[in-house]
Amino acid sequence: MKRAATLVLLLASSAHAFSIGTGFSPGCHERLTAAVYGSYLADLPFRGQQRPRGAAWEKLSDQFSREFGLEAYDDEKRAIIVSLLLGVRAPDTRSHSLFDLSRTRDIHLDPLDQRAHALRAPGDDGPDGDGAALEATRQHIEGRLDEALRHLDDTLTVRLTLDFYGEVDVEVLRGPFHLGEALHALQDSFAHSLRSPDFRQVHHVLNFVDALSSTHDEARDGLRHSSGLDECDGVGAPAAQAARVASLEWIEALIDEGPAGANRVMAGWLERREGCTIDNGYCGNAFLSAARGNATRSPLSCAASPGVPLVLLAAAVMLRRRRRGRPSFVSALLLVACGPPPQTPVTPACAPVSACAGSLEGTWYIESSCLLPDEGPAPTCEAPQTSRDLTVAGFVRFQGDRGEGALRGRLREVLARPRACSASGRCDDVEGLPGGYSCVAQGAQCACARGGVGAEAGTFSVQVLGGGELSIDGQSALACAAGDRLRLQLASRPTPLVLSLRRFP
């Protein structure tokens, strides 16, 4: 998550409209934040604030609504989500364009700024460096949260750089903006560390600054930053799923208990397991091979250093200066230099699992989860359809005909009503809802969600019965494995839980 999505805003002077695209990554922080926080906007401690001035935030809100499925919030909620998403993006850009190599380098190599990304600073050496880095990250998150709560009634002007167009000032709500900064560091603690199978303990914290040095020494400086673990998808998907759960727990604790509760939850996710060193493979961490295979390095080549080599970036900047009328040429050079940009995956619909006899041996980590929808009658204005959504992280390990695992997750409740139930046809003024629901449009329906309605955590044992049939703590379950992918369906709930998992060594 260290590599930010490049913010490319195209300003059409005739319509005064923005469109936002992502240049090098699908915007992992924004996706995580939009996915988990939409259910909590009604309960965040930022209600009743003044509306930001100017039209820029509204233009951004329209784009965010389309990009992240946040359609039809009222103006107050729209301002909160824009401020939150710009805040969660800010630590990776600090208002600068990623084409501005000098400033971008200064941002990411600033020794004092590594805590904002849950990374080791240059002085965090040896095994004790893990503890020092985690403590710095804790202090940073607490500080950003304190700033958010001390400025509930304030606004802040954020400067965004529009590649090839210049700078634009956007007024945002200061509280949600700083909350986004805190959330960025919490989420980065999953991408920038090696963790236990249940993701509850940190085995090792990675290093970005020293990774670019020719004198990097892993035993002293720590494992190099990994671009693979930085992604929401692929090898980084299990950590991203755990970051979703942590983000949910953190905001629920803030709403229910205030900053003391949020800091308690945050500290629990940053707990360190001592004794994990290079000599024991960081306590035999399953993600070590993936981290080393995608490590950030100093040589200027695609194979050795993920992303675009500095030499090509420099060439692109010179071309940009000479060819200001041809930005597409520069973009093409950057995008093809080390292969095409990653594509945002399409989340598959939640579907039942058909048992199959694939090999289950090994350790599998949860990449996504869903509860099968209740096939009840279609929702009406008088009888909305009630469903639940469960976001879980964890692992399942199989050895022979036995297995074990651990899950941790948060539950939310969703009420679906036809959009026609609203006099305006919008979903931000649905009548007759209990308190605490935030509504968005999904086709012809309004989906009104409320978070914080339940949690799940614990360990379980598994018995393999054969043919894709399992018994999990005495309850029937179905499995189908193909290669390094596994789908599980746990039937011990009113609506079955379906898990998508990936196998790691």
- Asked if the structure places residue 248 within a domain, the reply is yes
Q: What is the pLDDT of residue 300?
A: 47
Query: Using an 8 Å Cβ cutoff, are 438 and 77 in contact?
Result: yes
Top pLDDT among 294 and 431 is at: 294
Query: Using an 8 Å Cβ cutoff, are 297 and 218 in contact?
Result: no
Q: What is the pLDDT of residue 253?
A: 93
Q: Domain of residue 285: give its range.
A: 7-293
- Asked if the structure places residue 357 within a domain, the reply is no
Q: How far apart are CA 379 and CA 364, in angstroms?
A: 37
pTM for this one? 0.82
Do 367 and 476 lie in one domain? The reply is: yes
The total number of structural domains in the chain stands at 2
- Asked if the structure places residue 310 within a domain, the reply is no
- Asked if the structure places residue 330 within a domain, the reply is no
End position of a domain, from candidates 264, 293, 322 = 293
Q: What is the pLDDT of residue 356?
A: 95
| Residues near 384 by beta carbon (within 8 Å), at least 6 away in sequence | 415, 416, 417, 448
- Asked if the structure places residue 140 within a domain, the reply is yes
Asked if pLDDT for residue 128 goes beyond 70, the answer is: yes
Asked if pLDDT for residue 309 goes beyond 90, the answer is: no
- Asked if the structure places residue 298 within a domain, the reply is no
Q: What is the pLDDT of residue 95?
A: 52
Do 250 and 367 lie in one domain? The reply is: no
Do 74 and 173 lie in one domain? The reply is: yes
**Hunting for tokens 């900053």 — which residue is that?**
259
Q: How far apart are CA 23 and CA 412, in angstroms?
A: 33
What proportion of the chain, given as a percentage, has pLDDT over 90? Answer: 42
Token representation of residue 135: 């403590």
Token representation of residue 373: 């929808």
Residue 112: count other Cβ atoms within 10 Å of its Cβ: 8
Q: What is the pLDDT of residue 348?
A: 54
End position of a domain, from candidates 293, 318, 339 = 293
Token representation of residue 163: 């590649």
Q: What is the pLDDT of residue 232?
A: 83
Q: Beta-strand (E) ranges in 109-176?
A: 155-162, 166-173
Query: Using an 8 Å Cβ cutoff, are 404 and 413 in contact?
Result: no
Q: Which of 130, 139, 187 is nearest to 2 (CA)?
A: 187
Asked if pLDDT for residue 341 goes beyond 50, the answer is: no
Do 370 and 279 lie in one domain? The reply is: no
Angle of helix 28-37 versus helix 237-257 axis, rounded to 10: 40
Top pLDDT among 442 and 71 is at: 442
Do 271 and 370 lie in one domain? The reply is: no
End position of a domain, from candidates 247, 262, 293 = 293
Do 268 and 376 lie in one domain? The reply is: no
- Asked if the structure places residue 17 within a domain, the reply is yes
| Residues near 329 by beta carbon (within 8 Å), at least 6 away in sequence | 319, 323
**Hunting for tokens 């509850």 — which residue is that?**
200
Do 103 and 219 lie in one domain? The reply is: yes
H-helix or E-strand spanning residue 237? helix 237-257
Environment class of 390 (CB within 10 Å of its CB; exposed 0-12, middle 13-18, buried 19+): buried
